[in-house]
Amino acid sequence: MLLLPSVATSILAQDPAISSADLQNLYELLAVHLKVTHIAVTKPIPLRRNQSSSDRSGEENTLRSPSDFAPLYGDVGPASCSNPPTQADFDSAFWVTAKQNGIFQTWAPRWIMFSRGNISEKARLLGLHSVAEAVVRGREDGGEGCTAVDLYVGIGYFAFSYAKAGVEKVLGWDLNAWSCEGLRRGARANGWKAVVLDGEDAGLREVVEDHETTFIVFNESNEYAVARVDSMRSRLPPVRHVNCGLLPTSRGSWGTAVQVLDQRLGGWIHVHENFAINEIEERAEEVRAEIESSLVQSHNRGRSVEVEHVNRLKSYAPGVIHCVLDIYIPPLGSAG
């Protein structure tokens, strides 16, 4: 599939001498010469559904749906679906697979965003010393293994990196059923087993205890993550890493991250946030302090939370950087 920026077609549309038939001929030539089957225009994901330059109102786009996606060539599947989508909707959609860092990721471009700018963070997680440390210690300390939690799992952007790095179980939460299906398909392409649950408890025990299942994904709000993890904790390897995404802030998940992390062993929370360039150090300290405060509130006094690293991932807007904070919470009883 070839994805074009909106400016590519807007320039052509302004030329009255170019007809729609001319454009179709052009797209067909592009498809043949670039060896693609589909062409579409992609635009930035709007913060609100059906948002336009003249209308800033509307429902918040919490599912990060690509409402401005415009197919130009090739059949990308039906333009509408059931709510929630059915298996028939999934089967009739057009799915795309990309390979980054040796990992396949799958999504339906009409229904799900794909962030190519996260590739360096995916690679960083693959080689991150703290991930390797959790994996090695999990294998050494009685063979318990380790678990990672992604509170904004999407199609498995970062979750797949944890699995490839050797993490035994990865738990994920996402409101978008299309993202959960994309993760399931992508996991299968990589040789991993993923089970998607829609909020019901039926069969959860068997899923957790199934050694062949790497990913357990909940198609629900991450507000339920603490209760879910608590109900599974005795049968799960210790949760050593928690990923907090960005929609458009991860603040609401910080307390949840503290509570799902293994209380005895501690671990790492990876916080995604947008900071003004001249405020990165100050804002990082604010995040650290708030997470430390959450520890105190959950009766985990005496542990000093540390910002191990600030990764400046990508530019989000002029003067604004999307950063990832690696925040370390030491084991219970440590001197800090």
Range of the domain at 247: 117-329
**Lowest-pLDDT choice from 39-43, 70-74, 159-163:** 39-43
Residue 102 belongs to a domain: no
Q: Which of 46, 76, 106 is where one domain is finished?
A: 76
**Lowest-pLDDT choice from 66-75, 147-156, 177-186, 276-285:** 66-75
The model carries a pTM of 0.90
pLDDT above 70: residue 217: yes
Render 250-316 in DSSP notation, one character per residue. -GGGHHHHHHHS-TTT-EEEEEEEEEEGGGHHHHHHHHHHHHHHHHHHTT-TT---EEEEEEEEEEE
Q: Which residue has the tokens 């997680």?
A: 125
Confidence of residue 195 (pLDDT cuts 50, 70, 90): very high
137-171 pLDDT, tens digit per residue, is 999 867 889 999 999 999 999 999 999 999 999 99
CATH number at residue 234: 3.40.50.150
- Same-domain status, 137 and 243: yes
Render 118-161 in DSSP notation, one character per residue. GHHHHHHHHH-HHHHHHHHHHHHSTT---EEEETT-TTTTTHHH
- Same-domain status, 191 and 52: no
- Same-domain status, 188 and 262: yes
Residue 105 belongs to a domain: no
Residue 83 belongs to a domain: no
- Same-domain status, 72 and 175: no
Number of other residues whose CB lies within 10 A of the CB of residue 286: 13
Do residues 217 and 180 lie in contact, with contact meaning Cβ atoms separated by under 8 Å? Answer: yes
- Same-domain status, 122 and 204: yes
- Same-domain status, 152 and 232: yes
Confidence of residue 59 (pLDDT cuts 50, 70, 90): low
Mean pLDDT of 44-60: 56
201-214 pLDDT, tens digit per residue, is 667 889 999 999 99
Look at residue 54 in the predicted model and tell me its pLDDT: 45
Confidence of residue 18 (pLDDT cuts 50, 70, 90): confident
Residue 277 belongs to a domain: yes
Q: Which residue has the tokens 């909940």?
A: 218
What does pLDDT average to over the chain? Answer: 89
- Same-domain status, 49 and 131: no
- Same-domain status, 277 and 185: yes
pLDDT above 80: residue 242: yes
- Same-domain status, 185 and 254: yes
pLDDT above 80: residue 58: no
Domains identified in the chain, total number: 2
Look at residue 6 in the predicted model and tell me its pLDDT: 78
Gyration radius (Cα) of the chain, Å: 21
Residue 109 belongs to a domain: no
- Same-domain status, 158 and 302: yes
307-336 pLDDT, tens digit per residue, is 999 999 998 889 999 999 999 999 987 754
- Same-domain status, 135 and 23: no
Q: Which of 43, 59, 76 is where one domain is finished?
A: 76
Residue 86 belongs to a domain: no
Mean pLDDT of 296-306: 76
Residue 111 belongs to a domain: no
pLDDT above 70: residue 38: yes
Residue 101 belongs to a domain: no
- Same-domain status, 39 and 185: no
Q: Which of 26, 60, 76 is where one domain is finished?
A: 76
